[in-house]
Amino acid sequence: MLNNSEYSNQKVLVLGLAKSGVSAAKLLHRLGALVTVNDKKKFDDNKDAQALLDEGVTVITGSHPVALLDEGFTLMVKNPGIPYSNPMVVRAQELGIPVITEPELAYSVSDSSWVGITGSNGKTTTTTLIGLMLNEREGAGRAFDAGNIGIPVSGVVQKAGKADTVVCELSSFMLVGIKTLHPHIAVLTNIYEAHLDWHGSRENYVKAKMRLTMNQTPEDYFIMNWDLPEMHTLAKQSKATIVPCSRKGAAGARATLTDGWLCFDGERIMKADEMQIPGAHNIENALAAIAAAKLSGTPNEAIVDVLRRFTGVKHRIQYVTSIDGRKVYNDSKATNVEASTVALSAFKKPIVLLAGGLDRHLSMADLLPLVKQHVRAMVTFGETAPLMEQLATQAGIPFTRTANVKTAVPLAFEASQPGDVILLSPAAASWDQYPNFEVRGDEFIAAVTSYAEKKE
């Protein structure tokens, strides 16, 4: 980490805690800033705020008092999920106070090389694969996974040195709040329709994603999914060297699926069917990871070793267990239609689908062909349960509505047959019932475990 005196005695407001806010506050405090944290959760129930107070950080909880911003702050570090329409953020901007997100703060004190990964789907799997591959290099520094993967970057940069690499998953929420962040290698896995309730339009969402490359130069690399026509247009906005990836044989691609082989610059690396993770989407993730690894000097043997042993990321088409001939998968990270489309396409066996969640007033129509083709029955819950039931009716399959993921599990087994796949792939965010998709997925796994124990 750089010995950065920029923040010494600077008055900084950290708005919103959670993992990233706590980590940002601790980093700023270490750098000598005069830190105030403001979190909506009441103090008595706020262990993070209590711990920060014990460390000497000023803590204000229970509400977001706009008048607080009249106390001479020179910087706001905003929790990525807080929208720019929030009165605190609006007031900060009126006062000319810079508003950034935690990855920008971390980058400003980092002396490591960065790989940045974003996209609508596949970010975490690609981030994890790249980190694993880079850590297989001999004689190179260590790679640290960080960011939206669930590991605050401002903690990682305090451990990562000049010879190391920060492999950072960056959400669109995070990217809106960056100014100088400059990855040597950037990866855009794909862009679909997502988070429009937060960004206001698809155009704004795409603009947020493209901020990943805004500080890159021709000496840097921008890895893009060349099978999506939109990428060809977006590539013109980047000054970086474009590195196209293609599963479908797009002209000009450097990372490709060719005759069943994963290749880079025409060199065969391994057969795609030797990978442990299922689905065409994971071939795309692997190609992006291979490109990043090869550009970082990783030998083929290391790449092959990782892809042969990697079995997936938790909550992303994660194999849970087999019970009475049914294979159970947790895809709680499927918070949009596109992600569930990927999951449904990954299996050849009949599926009993558990689906539902936050209603963002988006169409579910794109799921209909796959529901007709792959789904035996559906168990629905959450705000979008009626939308999912319309799909089931159109597809001519039975459905049952229930309270939540926990109560859905036994109903899914009742609706299934030996040889089926039981799949949690909600096609919606979790926030109508759960704090995040991880909690939703953990409840599903716990319910499956409980069901298995009762069967014994």
The alpha carbon of residue 8 and the mean position of all alpha carbons in its chain are separated, in whole angstroms, by 32
User: What type of residue sits at position 252?
Assistant: G
CA pair distance 200, 332, nearest whole angstrom: 24
Element (H, E) at 38: strand 34-39
**CB contact at 8 A, 416 and 349:** no
Cβ–Cβ under 8 Å, residues 327 and 299: no
Binding site feature residues for ATP = 119-125
Residue 51 CA to residue 98 CA, distance in Å, equals: 26
Query: Under DSSP, is residue 176 helix (H, G, I), strand (E, B) or coil?
Result: helix
For residue 357, give Cα distances in angstroms to 101, 151, 254, 407.
27, 25, 38, 14
List residues forming the annotated binding site: 119-125
Listed in order, strand segments (DSSP E) in 112-260 are: 113-118, 143-147, 165-169, 185-188, 221-225, 241-246, 255-258
Q: In sequence order, what are the residues at sequence separation of 6 or more whose Cβ sits closer than 8 angstroms to the Cβ of residue 108?
A: 4, 6, 180
DSSP 86: S
DSSP 362-428: ---GGGHHHHHHHEEEEEE-STTHHHHHHHHHHHT--EEE-SSHHHHHHHHHHH--TT-EEEE--SS
Which amino acid would we find at residue 381?
A: F
Distances in whole angstroms, Cα of residue 313 to Cα of each of 123, 125, 310, 330? 11, 6, 9, 10
- Residue 36: enclosing H or E segment and its boundaries? strand 34-39
Q: Are 138 and 296 in contact (CB under 8 A)?
A: no
Sheet containing 165-169, strands listed edge to edge, beginning at the edge strand earlier in sequence: 143-147, 165-169, 113-118, 185-188, 221-225, 241-246, 255-258, 261-264, 267-271
